[in-house]
Structure 1
Amino acid sequence: MTNAAAAASSSSASSPPNPPPPSLSLMPPRLHALLCIYLPHPRPLVRLLHYSAAPGADGRPQQKQLPPSPSHASSELWIAKALAAATLLRPRHLPAFRRVDPSPLAAAAALRLAPCASSALGIFTALHCSPLSITPSAHSCQYIIVVLCKSGRQADALQLFDQMTTHYGYFPDARFLSFLVNSCMCANLLDASVTLLSKASEFGCRIEAYAYNKLMSLLIGCGRVHDVVALFERWIQDRVYSPDVWSFNVVIKGVCRVGYVQKALELVERMNEFGCSPDTVTHNILVDGLCRTNEVSRGHEVLRMLQRDGVCTPNVVTFTSVISGYCKAGKMEDAMAVYNDMVASGIMPNAVTYNVLINGYGKVGDMGSAVEVYQQMTRLRCPPDVVTFSSLIDGYCRCGQLDDALRIWSDMAQHRIQPNVYTFSIIIHSLCKQNRSDEAIDVLNELNLRPDIAPRAFIYNPVIDVLCKCGKVDEAYLIQKSMKEKGCRPDKYTYTILIIGYCMKSRISEAIMFFHEMVEAGCSPDSITVNCFISCLLKAGMPNEVDHVMRLASGGASSIQEVPSPDIQLKALILEEWREVIFPLAEVLHLLPVFLVLFTVV
């Protein structure tokens, strides 16, 4: 064996049988490992990524061509996986992909390999910006927008949508635009939804009326009725979309809710211009709006017109709206007349109808008729609900028949109906009015055991008030303490009751403590609270605290228009004391000169 042959044999024995190409040694190890996991044969892709790494005979980079792949789609997929891996793991190696000249198809496929929306957005930004600057396709833009919307990142989606339409010149189709609008509405981005729908005609999209109707309903729910009316009139004027009956019903309901019944009538008259006719829902909304604005007679006239024309048959909602309007006006005879007319028309009343009548009779103090309506309700097998019993309890309490109200309270358990927060409030308030504080506390404790009811301050305040009036300020404080433990924040009425209650017991220091707590809690004391507290402080001989209280009140309560000065308060207190002592002893006119002299001296 020659020396050359021996050297060749030694060299072949010490080297691996398939040495890696030079390009593989230049690839980052982590990226190469990731490619080996993703791809069954990564070496062709490696040569593609580093085709200029091996020098040629002339010393310049030798541009080697990758052997033809089995299919073009397979090559694009390999490139897409490499792009995604490099973007997420080794973004500094992205400039090497410029030699490959990735296509928009590969960039679009790379987006689908992202594990989350943030990664997808990062890949999109990296591939379509410098150094690669791959022009994205319309499909890529829409895909990343959908991913962002589904992840709750509507703001980023809208920003990318603006780039898609303004920078890249891609216009969405009706289906995609409807998806984006609906996603923004679900995220409560109502103004963005308005902007998108207003641009639908610019994009050449014809969006269904459903999207516009849903958006107007959400705006009305937020109290933006004026915006809805302006948008609706602009949209129909610009012929952005063709409104249907539901469109008009949404706007009519909104304007009726804020009392613009005349505007509602104008909209009803305009329905024929767009080939729409008012249906039963339209008339129900209109009748309810008229009755809510104390125009029950006009609402009843619309009901008679429906019965007379026969085009739209009134239903139980139409009759109940008129009955409710008469009940709120205290015209129970008219309400029963409409009820009888409804029954004669073959329309069966529902629980809402009976509840309206029971509540109306309770407010006028006719509990006999209210009980008759309740009995008729049970005879017709219409099951009562919590509103039924609450209306009966409220009616008995208004008439001073508290024991009957408590009997109805007990009957609720037999019907397996749980009282709600307003039922508790009615009972507790009525018990406190009759100074039955122990029973009121028992009902309050029962309320505290209900995990499904969030306690409210207006329920606790009557109990605290009756305890303070009875001189049981410590028990009232315990109620306030348990109130805060239940997560219910005291309001200004709670603090005012406690401050005056402790002042009446001559426990001024504790009253001052509650006043400080009231201000720190953000409850602005009104002028009545401040004046009563200052009067108590002056009676207790604590004029120095008056200035402090007035400073706190003026700094923390914007509702106080003017707080009297200590001198005026002192004069008022002296005059009050003189009036209490002297006026019972003599006539006012006989003491008028003395009264004026004292006022001048003070």
Structure 2
Amino acid sequence: MIECGVVADVETVRCLIQAFCDDNDVSKGYGLLRQVLGDGIVPGNAAFNKLISGFCKEKEYTKVSELLHTMITMNCIPDNFTYQEVINWLCKKGKVSEGFRIFNDLKERGYAPDIVMYTTMIHGLCTMGLGGARKLWFEMFGKGFRPNQYTYNTMIHGFCKSGDFEQARILYKEMCDKGYKETTVSYNTMMTGLCLHGRTDEAYKLFKEMPQKDIVRDVITYNTLIRAISTILHSTYCSSLSSGKSRRSQKFVE
């Protein structure tokens, strides 16, 4: 193109940046962006979003922040997809309150969060307790959205983590009644919560149940149980050592 004197346009740049990102070479895509901006070419949101998504995956958060500022400077108004990536990034960094602030700001500015953004925000809020997550869950229903399998699993995980297994099972049954199939993820979610609260026997029952329902066990399934059983064995071993020392001490005194 260059040799033939054909000048690259926004679409050319978008395709190349997407190609670099798909090839896991986000830095080259970013380098191309800086080059074309210097030449006066401003790619559309799709190119910026692709780079933001790529840098979020690589945990290059400084670059994400820089890209957002560049978008605003170049009058490329961030869209729902952009903010979805940013909120997800903030929640993963543990800055859930900041992500929630952006989420609420978006609604006040006329943006309409979709089911993906609601699910992301609910997942983040679950790490801070169930109060905010449950409020957002009901707000989602009020907006006419219906939870998908990922949203259900997010809330189920939150209830399991807090030890409210009764509510977790109610949601689990509701999810199945809605036609969503039981999956490896849903089983892992329940098992993780049970093991977290020392209910390893119940988790093991679910483990044995999985092949009966043709549900594949993955490395997370095994690691969850191995970690829980190892904790029990370690605790038992330490208790036996402590008990043995106590008996030896008593014998010495006698």
Q: TM-score, normalised by structure 2?
A: 0.72
Aligned equivalents of 2:17 and 2:177: distance in 1? 42
The 3 A distance-change label for structure 1 pair 380 and 302 is: farther
Taking the TM superposition and a 5 Å limit, the aligned residue runs for 1:342-491 are 342-397=71-126, 399-451=127-179, 453-464=180-191, 466=193, 469-470=198-199, 473=202, 480=209, 489-491=214-216
Mapped contact 2:160–2:193 kept (Cα < 8 A): yes
Which one has a larger percent helix, Structure 1 or Structure 2?
A: 2
1:367: Cα distance to partner? 1.8
Counterpart residue identity of residue 109, structure 2: L
- How do 1:118-129 and structure 2 match up within 5 A? none
Q: Is the 8 A contact 1:464 1:480 kept in 2?
A: no
- Number of aligned residue pairs: give it: 234
Partner AA of 1:284 in structure 2: R
Offset from partner CA, 1:558-601 (integer Å, 9 cap, x none) = xxxxxxxxxxxxxxx9xxx9986457535xxxxxxxxxxxxxxx
Q: Structure 1 counterpart of 2:78, which letter?
A: P
Q: Give the conservation status (yes or no) of the 8 Å contact 1:361–1:369.
A: yes
Q: Answer whether contact 2:30 2:51 (CA < 8 A) is retained.
A: yes
Task: Determine the structure 2 residue equivalent to 1:304.
Answer: 34
Note if contact 1:355-1:388 (Cα within 8 Å) is conserved in structure 2. yes
**C-alpha displacement at 1:480, in angstroms?**
4.7
Q: State how far apart, in whole Å, the 1-side matches of 2:214 and 2:134 are.
A: 28
* Shift in Å, 1:409: 1.5
Q: Structure 1's 299 and 445: CA in aligned 2 closer, same or farther, altered over 3 A?
A: same
Q: Which has the larger radius of gyration?
A: 1
Partner of 1:149: none
In structure 1, the gaps of 5 or more residues are 1-270, 501-527, 533-572, 587-602
Instruction: Give the counterpart letter for 2:117 in structure 1.
Output: T
Q: Which has the higher contact order (CA 8 A, sep 6+)?
A: 2
Change in Cα spacing, 1:290 to 1:471, as seen in structure 2 (3 Å) is closer
Alignment partners' CA distance in 2, 1:437 and 1:353: 35
Please say if residues 21 and 54 of structure 2, whose CA atoms lie closer than 8 Å, have aligned partners that are also in contact. Answer: yes
Unaligned runs of 5+ in 2: 246-254
1:222-261 equivalences under 5 Å are none
Give the aligned residue type for 2:35.
M
Using the size of structure 1 for normalisation, the TM-score is 0.34
Deviations 1:58-103 (A, max 9, x none): xxxxxxxxxxxxxxxxxxxxxxxxxxxxxxxxxxxxxxxxxxxxxx
Q: Which letter does structure 2 place at the counterpart of 1:382?
A: Y
Tell me which of 40, 56, 72 is aligned to 1:327: 56
Equivalent residues in 2 for 1:199-210, closer than 5 Å: none
Contact 1:332 1:361 in 2 (8 A): no
The offset of 1:346, in angstroms, is 2.0
Using the TM superposition, give the Cα deviation of residue 347 of structure 1 relative to its aligned residue in structure 2, in angstroms: 1.9
% same residue: 25
Q: Secondary structure at the match of 1:442?
A: helix
Could you tell me how far apart the structure 1 residues matched to 2:60 and 2:21 are? 13
Is 1:585 equivalent to 2:235 in the alignment?
no
After superposition, give the CA deviation of every residue in 1:469-495 in whole Å (9 maximum; x if it has no partner). Answer: 537749x56x959x97xxx5232369x
Contact 1:284–1:317 (8 Å) recurs in 2: yes
